[in-house]
Amino acid sequence: MIAIQCRWMFSLAGGVPRATPGLLTLAQWDGGWRVVAVGRNESTGSPHDLGDFAILPPLTNAHCHLEFSDLTEPLGEPGMSLPAWIKEVVRHRRAADTEGQRRASYLAGLAESRRAGVATVGDITTLPWSPDWISRQDASACPGVAMLELLSLDVARVDDLIQTASRHLSNATPWRAGLSPHAPYSTTPELVDRACQLCRETGAPLAMHLAESREELELLASGGGAFRELLESFGVWRERVFDQPRGSIDVLQQLARAPCTLVVHGNYLGHGEIELLSQHRDRMTVVYCPRTHAFFRHDEHPLPSLLAAGVPVALGTDSRASNPDLSVWNELRCAAERHPSVSPAELFRMVTTTPALALGFAPMDLLGCPIESLVAAPIGAGGDPWESLVEIPNVAPLLHFWQPPDSRGEL
């Protein structure tokens, strides 16, 4: 066994964020090293001192689209409307549509996530994604949920899509499987209901983009606006889907029937919707994507109201199509800057415990954690550890900074 010490360690024992002077005992376990004690074990000698470093448990990215990870910069221009941006996304997808390109992009995103200290991801996948794309090694280094995107305004296609969804959920995969009816402007209420029902039967998690833009609210309320023009230009407009006024709350009432739902974005959730989410907080989590929110220059996110109502909120990167990288740590930094009233400890929970639970994983804390999954970063020496934490510009796997000693160094 060996011990390592550092300036601060941040943990979540019992779900409570804690910052304490860092001291961990590691032991060899199953061919690797694992944390066997938080604090010093009697049988270790002098700890290896990392100095002014912080050690953190693994991070979870609640929402991404790894398939766009080949992009070197976001599509379109900051401040553009969501319907205009979707045109750019469709153009990009058509340009890079071979299976080989998609797979390479996906794996690049997975590797980038690992380098950013992310050990669990909730990914929205589109066909031809296949479980074969993820090696067993990738799956153990970065477990996740592959949430199959379901998208069509054609009621006649619902049965086919649900059959495909059912096959996806029953496919053996090194990752878990979930579903993602895409958004209210790209799905029918029938498709959303059937997807929720399938998730109820299987216990699979479900994610849906919701209350993301003003244009979405306008389409649901009036059946018109920029989304209608977009859908008409694609030749997929269906009058019948939008002939009755609806709101985000109607969609949330459908989603509340699934066992475990991630409500992605929620930029324009109002008081009534937040109350409904609060009533279902045991199974509904909002995923806030701060830098994507900033890219589109949306109105201020209702994060403080959601937290005040007890709604679980997780952070996500969304994709490289609206974000420069896949670091969920950078999302935490952005959220800290935009919402100074939210405590750093609360933000820390939003990239660890809350997203892990929302995706159906037991949150990983320091104790028992394999060394490959531990996260570390240089940290300022003085002051309040939580304030210093949100000042950290970048985190990386601990192994990036420190390797356990070889046999000669073991004590």
Chain contacts with Zn ion (rule: CB under 5 A) = 318
Question: Minimum CB separation from Zn ion for residue 126, in Å?
Answer: 12
Among residues 308, 350, 353, 320, the alpha carbon closest in space to that of 332 is found at 350
Note whether 53 and 378 are within 8 A (CB).
yes
User: What is d(CA 376, CA 58) in angstroms, rounded to the nearest whole number?
Assistant: 9
Note whether 131 and 325 are within 8 A (CB).
no
318 or 331: whose CB is closer to Zn ion? 318
Question: Minimum CB separation from Zn ion for residue 50, in Å?
Answer: 36
Question: Minimum CB separation from Zn ion for residue 67, in Å?
Answer: 11
Q: Which residue has the tokens 């606006």?
A: 225
7 or 320: whose CB is closer to Zn ion? 320
Question: Minimum CB separation from Zn ion for residue 6, in Å?
Answer: 35
151 or 345: whose CB is closer to Zn ion? 151
User: What is d(CA 293, CA 324) in angstroms, rounded to the nearest whole number?
Assistant: 13
Question: Minimum CB separation from Zn ion for residue 57, in Å?
Answer: 25
Question: Minimum CB separation from Zn ion for residue 264, in Å?
Answer: 6
**Element at 130 (helix H, strand E):** none
User: What is d(CA 33, CA 187) in angstroms, rounded to the nearest whole number?
Assistant: 47
Q: What is the DSSP string of 285-317?
A: EEEE-HHHHHHTTPSPP-HHHHHHTT--EEE--
26 or 350: whose CB is closer to Zn ion? 350
Residues 6+ apart with CB under 8 A from 256: 276, 280, 283, 284
67 or 318: whose CB is closer to Zn ion? 318
168 or 293: whose CB is closer to Zn ion? 293
> Which residue's Cβ lies closest to Zn ion?
318
SS3 271: helix
